[in-house]
Amino acid sequence: MEYISTDKAPAAIGPYSQAIKAGDFLYASGQIPINPESGEIDTTTIADQADRVCRNIGEILKAAGTDYEHVVKTTCFLAEMSDFAAFNAVYEKYFTGKPARSCVAVKQLPRNVLCEVEIIAYLGK
pLDDT at 22: 97
What's the CATH code, domain 2-122?
3.30.1330.40
pLDDT > 80? residue 125 = no
How far apart CA 89 and CA 93 sit, in angstroms, is: 7
Q: How far is CA 72 from the centre of its chain?
A: 13
Active site residues: 103
Query: If pLDDT is split at 50, 70 and 90, which confidence band does 13 have?
Result: confident
Span 26-38, mean pLDDT?
Answer: 97
pLDDT at 124: 85
Span 30-59, mean pLDDT?
Answer: 97
Domain boundaries, the chain: 2-122
pLDDT at 14: 85
Query: What contacts 105, CB < 8 A, 6 or more positions away?
Result: 77, 78, 79, 80, 81
